[in-house]
Amino acid sequence: MEDKIVRVRIWVVLVLLLAGLVVWIPEIGKANFRNPQANLEVHFFDVGQGDAIFIKTPDGIQVLIDGGPDSSVLRELGSQMKVFDRNIDLVIATHSDKDHIGGLIDVLNRYDVKNILLTENKNATEASDIFSKNTKAENASIILARRGQVFQLGASTTLEILSPAGPTDGWESNNASIIVQLRYGDIEFMLTGDAPYEIEDYLVSIYGDQLESEVLKLGHHGSKTSTSEIFLEVVDPEYAVVSSGKDNRYGHPNKDVIGRTIISGAKIYSTIEAGTISFVSDGREVWLK
């Protein structure tokens, strides 16, 4: 009898520990039936030299990851959201560089954002200062990103934080990037911000094959600092996306990165040539819209 009681207590503790990793945000849960649809949609917006990724889940949840360098993101959001829809359930600022948060300043001015996920990392720039002030004025729930958090985006879709593991005060901004894996059924999207090799290696050592994803956003706009051979091998993407601007001064995407991505077997799509790149998934397969 005592053994049975001990086993029950152990199971209770395990359940509580697992439950602690899941972040169910009431404001997101309430959005379930706002715009229900059959499939998951992920749009890699064409915002020039920068990142902006818009997610619409089958349960009607709307998530924006980064906002590019300027107000171009408003045009792109307008093409995907209903005319009178001014609500975004979750905004994620992967890190404090202007090409990721510049447009989020305009988003916070235009839209009612319920939840904002970010890190402690800040740049000594005007864009970083304004974004910080606007987040405080938005009256949104502010959540600090930590490895292991799992956001339940309605009943059918999850978003797991893979990095950072702790506070990022004083970190180099790219190293502090929030890295997430979006999952719907059997389909995953790996969204890496501007994370460099060192962070990719860390992820491989921690997660291994869990990193496997059908769609990979190449880190740092296809820069030579990211998308190592081992990371590509473990993620094993079917599709790879480059989000960068035409004739940018950084030379993104790097030709060696493109070369090893092609060798990996992934099909590459770039916002430079294709404009906004949209994927649709039914949880079993993923395809270009």
What letter would DSSP give residue 222?
G
Predicted pLDDT at 38 = 85
Q: List the domain boundaries for the chain.
A: 22-288
In 3D space, the residue among 66, 134, 135 whose CA is nearest the CA of residue 99 turns out to be 66
Give the per-residue pLDDT at 37: 75
The pLDDT, as a whole number, for residue 67 is: 98
Tens of pLDDT along 198-215?
A: 999 999 999 999 999 999
* pLDDT score for 262: 96
E strands along the chain, which residues?
A: 22-23, 40-44, 53-56, 62-65, 87-92, 112-118, 141-144, 150-152, 157-163, 179-184, 187-191, 215-217, 239-242, 267-270, 277-281, 286-288
Q: Distances from the Cα of 162 to the Cαs of 125, 128, 166, in angstroms? A: 27, 23, 11
Sequence-ordered list of residues with C-beta below 8 angstroms from that of 145, at least 6 positions apart, any chain: 92, 117, 118, 119, 161, 164, 178
pLDDT digits (tens, 9 = 90+) for 85-94: 999 999 999 9
Q: Which CATH fold would you assign to the domain 22-288?
A: Metallo-beta-lactamase; Chain A (3.60.15)
Residue 25: what pLDDT?
A: 55
Residues in the chain with pLDDT values less than 50:
1-20, 26-27, 29, 31-33
Q: Which of 140, 115, 135, 105 is nearest to 61 (CA)?
A: 115
